[in-house]
């Protein structure tokens, strides 16, 4: 759209029209933006819901990412949580806070990314709210449908289960290291940090295959497997010989002095899925075994022993 100045000049309702008009909705959206609330079909009779908040300077930087990439990331990190429950994403609600002098084009480009990522997952952007603030803050609420399946929670893992993952690990951490050094390449690693690509269909596929526990890897593989271990009262052992350490991560680590295996084990923001499956289950396409569930007193281990170092991201630490 042509340059419309700032959001204060366009006004709240003008901005809402700018980011919602002429957008396509999936069949699950019975009533989209424009009323007091949206109406979303829930054939299963249950709604899976998740919320995340992204703050400029903490979760994203506009000197590192385009507004479109930030919009995609904001939606992706939320819909990954829906997939991790074994549900199919259906809808997204957006809360947006920004200063009045924010360029309107920045917000419309942000919305373009949100609509694009929601569409990739088969979900609709059905409503939200906009307010004035001192900095750019994005809050996303994502909804999903279980389609008759039981949810896959963190608490179902049992000793003897297989631990598996689907998606990339370590790429976003490598990209963050590159950006912190002031570089913008290799683009594959940098873009992994700017905009994750969760495998949304892998969550429902894991549920169909009998997954006993599942989680979105947002804070690091070890940190998030630790949540499964604690919720399920089990131990988990990760095998490094079963982990994929791509040559590109090795190349980046050589250039920057990092440790590619550490990125794979503890790097967050790739939003892969990690799950446990019965030992007799056939893993769905795209899932790969990386370890096993052990007895409760075993703890979280790597190659049978404790991991020395931080296991992932933790706010306020």
Which residue ranges are tagged as binding site for Mg(2+)?
36, 50-52, 81, 129, 216, 219
Nearest to 59 by CA among 317, 279, 313: 313
Q: Which residues are annotated as a binding site for substrate?
A: 59, 269, 313
CA distance 273 to 293: 16
Q: Is cis: bond before 24, omega within 30 of 0?
A: no
Contact 89, 83 (CB under 8 A): yes
Q: Which residues are annotated as a binding site?
A: 36, 50-52, 59, 81, 128-129, 154, 216, 218-219, 269, 313
Q: Which residues are annotated as a binding site for ATP?
A: 128-129, 154, 218
């Amino acid at each position: 759209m042509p340059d419309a100045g700032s959001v204060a000049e366009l006004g709240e309702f003008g901005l809402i029209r700018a980011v919602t008009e002429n957008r396509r909705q999936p069949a699950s959206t019975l009533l989209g933006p424009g009323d007091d609330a949206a109406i979303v079909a829930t054939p299963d009779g249950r709604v899976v819901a998740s919320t995340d908040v992204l703050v400029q300077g903490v979760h994203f930087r506009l000197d590192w990412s385009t507004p479109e990439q930030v919009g995609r990331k904001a939606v992706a990190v939320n819909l990954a949580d829906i997939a991790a429950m074994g549900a199919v994403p259906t809808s997204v609600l957006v809360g947006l806070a920004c200063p009045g002098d924010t360029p309107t084009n920045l917000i419309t480009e942000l919305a373009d990314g949100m609509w694009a990522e929601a569409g990739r997952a088969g979900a609709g952007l059905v409503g939200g709210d906009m307010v004035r603030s001192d900095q750019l803050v994005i809050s996303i609420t994502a909804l999903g449908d279980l389609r008759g399946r039981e949810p896959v929670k963190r608490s179902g893992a049992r000793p003897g289960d297989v631990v598996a993952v689907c998606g990339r690990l370590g790429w976003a951490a490598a990209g963050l290291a590159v950006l912190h050094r002031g570089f913008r390449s290799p683009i594959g690693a940098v873009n992994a940090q700017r905009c994750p690509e969760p495998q949304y269909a892998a969550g429902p596929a894991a549920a169909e295959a009998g997954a006993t526990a599942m989680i979105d890897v947002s804070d690091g593989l070890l940190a998030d497997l630790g949540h499964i271990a604690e919720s399920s009262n089990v131990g988990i052992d990760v095998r490094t010989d079963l982990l994929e350490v791509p040559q590109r991560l090795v190349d980046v680590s050589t250039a920057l002095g990092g440790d590619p295996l550490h990125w794979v084990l503890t790097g967050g923001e790739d939003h892969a899925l990690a799950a446990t499956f019965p030992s007799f289950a056939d893993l769905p396409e795209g899932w790969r075994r990386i370890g096993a569930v052990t007895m409760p007193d075993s703890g979280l281990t790597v190659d049978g022993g404790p991991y020395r170092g931080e296991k992932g991201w933790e706010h306020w630490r």
